[in-house]
Amino acid sequence: MGTKTIDEAGAETGAEAKRDEETVDVTKTDPSADNGTETEAYATDPADAEEQDGDEALGDGDDAAEADQATGIGQGAAAVVSAGLGVVSLTGSWVATVAAARETLVGQLQTSSSASVAQQVKEVYGDAWATTALIGGLFALAALIVGVVVLVRPAFGAPGKPQAAWIKSVAWAGVSLGVIGLVLAVAKYSDILLGLPSTS
């Protein structure tokens, strides 16, 4: 009886030890599972980094596109201004009208009634016409300068980005009108064109 009791106790003890080992084995964490989790975490992090880099690159591209658009708008506006100044140089402006009227008044005040006809014509009309031609020439020169600046602007910008065709056309129109206006202004100011009538 005693031996049986010992054997039974030993058997029971062995069974309990085996159960304890199984319990310990079940509660242990699998190292491969931990490594898989960490691997997944590391695998996810570079993707997020690449996505963030892509977003930053996209943002830089948008900024460059906005800068190019702003540059094109500025060049277009300058080309229109050049053409407008050229038209004003040929048709006249209120500045030239006021300046000519003032010069006429000054000539009337400074010319005595005993002055010769040629002197009176020069002081009253000639100087006023010369003033109009001078102001028209200034507008023409401004149109010429602005138009040339617009045309040469792409040479100082980013290479490989051509200027819009309509900007070139308007800028060339401004340059052409400026040249014509400048030539006419010089011709009128020097009395080559529409000089004073003869009073003899």
22 against 95, higher pLDDT: 95
Q: According to the model, what pLDDT value does residue 1 have?
A: 47
* 3-state SS assignment for residue 44: helix
Whole-angstrom distance between the N-terminal and C-terminal Cα of the chain? 166
What is the spatial distance between Cα 5 and Cα 65, in angstroms, rounded to a whole number? 92
Better-scored residue on pLDDT, 128 or 69: 128
Four-residue CA torsion sign, 192, 194, 195, 197: positive
Q: Is the model's pLDDT at 169 over the cut of 50?
A: yes
Query: Six-digit token pair at 102?
Result: 């003032």
In this predicted structure, the answer to whether residue 15 has a pLDDT above a threshold of 80 is: no
Separation of alpha carbons 114 and 35, rounded Å:
115
Could you tell me the pLDDT band of residue 108, with boundaries at 50, 70 and 90?
A: confident
pTM score of the predicted model: 0.63
58-86, pLDDT tens digit by residue? 455 555 556 556 567 888 999 999 999 99
